Amino acid sequence: MKSFPLAGITIGMAPQDKTHTDDPVGTAAYRRTWVGIPVWLWVDNPQPLTFGPYSKSATLGGVTVTATAAVQSVTWSGGDGQTVTCGAGTTFNEAAMQDELASDSPTCGFRYQKTSGDGTFTVTATSNWLVRWTGGGTDGTIAVPTVRSVTQVRVGQLESVNTVTASTGLGY
């Protein structure tokens, strides 16, 4: 691993990390979503040491061995018991989605089904690396420990109440 200093991905996630307009002045940026709303997940700004491919060669005694590491998949845990395994995912384009209905990511995401406690969940992205090597007339693969990245998301629940109005008798 010293020759392959593999790192966790940079988490791309919609909702993004921001200060919300209904927060008090001075509130630190954070991610916030609601029960039932799509959460998009992706590898943000993939680099050779965070997603691959990353190759390195070494020669000893006239034999050159080349090893290439690459993430095969990312397993996402929502912190509420759900997991999903994906590739790099699809970046959420806020400008393109501005006037669209909330929709699921075409490649990687989930929806929170409930909230609990203070509503804060830890989202974990586990990078599943594979190293393939060749040299000396043979080849193979090497098991590499997984690498994790984490972020926090607050999940709220919106509820509405229908009431009967005196003038129409209709509930709105």
Q: Mean pLDDT for the chain?
A: 87
Would residue 105 count as lying in a domain?
yes
Total structural domains in the chain? 1
User: pTM for the whole thing?
Assistant: 0.82
167 within a domain of the structure (yes/no): no
170: Cα within 13 Å, side-chain hemisphere: 2
Per-residue b or e along 60-70, where b marks 16 or more CB atoms closer than 10 Å to that residue's CB: eeeeeeebbbe
Question: Is residue 163 one of the residues assigned to a domain?
Answer: no
Query: Is 64 within a domain?
Result: yes
pLDDT in tens, 124-156: 999 999 999 999 999 999 978 889 999 999 898
Q: Is residue 169 part of a domain?
A: no
Task: Show the domain range for 70.
Answer: 10-156
